[in-house]
Amino acid sequence: MADDGEGHGGFEAATGYGPARAETVPGGRAAEVRVAYEGLLQIRRLTHAGPGDPAAVPASWERLRPVRAVALALEAAGIAPSAVDGAGARTATGYAVREGDGTGTARVEWLGPAGSGASLDEEAALTRCAAALERLGWEALMYRGPRRRRHLEVEPAR
């Protein structure tokens, strides 16, 4: 299994800033994602307090690790992650999640290899990403940055 970045093995959601994820279990990456996503929903059900659907409220651990939580939500929604090779060059078009500008936020971009046309698809692709995240209790606002490229700023819904 992959290292989870905290010193022990475990599932790691694809953020779009690493290599393409290899199949590591029978049934493939989709099975790994499905198990991790079901675990996320179970944590939400067990830790939910108050009214409303527990599946629509990010759990405390998600709020502490928004990049991992947002990446898992996008991958579980069937949206493809971007990827980079060992030299840092983009090898696949898809979402890329990193720390956002504010504490407890994530930034989602739509990136691809040079010449892939990813920028032409980014508005529609990021709109799909926002819809998937909003179903899970995240607020995703679209902004334009340098060179008029769009991105999402994502935080737990209030």
Tens digit of pLDDT for each residue in 104-129?
999 999 999 999 999 999 999 999 99
CA 55/CA 119 separation, integer angstroms: 32
* Element at 76 (helix H, strand E): helix 66-76
105 located within any domain: yes
Beta pairing, strands 106-111 & 83-84: unpaired
Q: What would the pLDDT profile of 33-57 be if each residue is shown by its tens digit?
A: 999 999 988 988 888 877 777 778 8
18 located within any domain: no
84 located within any domain: yes
Flag whether pLDDT at 133 surpasses 50: yes
- Residue numbers of the domain that contains 97: 29-156
CB 93 within 8 A of CB 113: yes
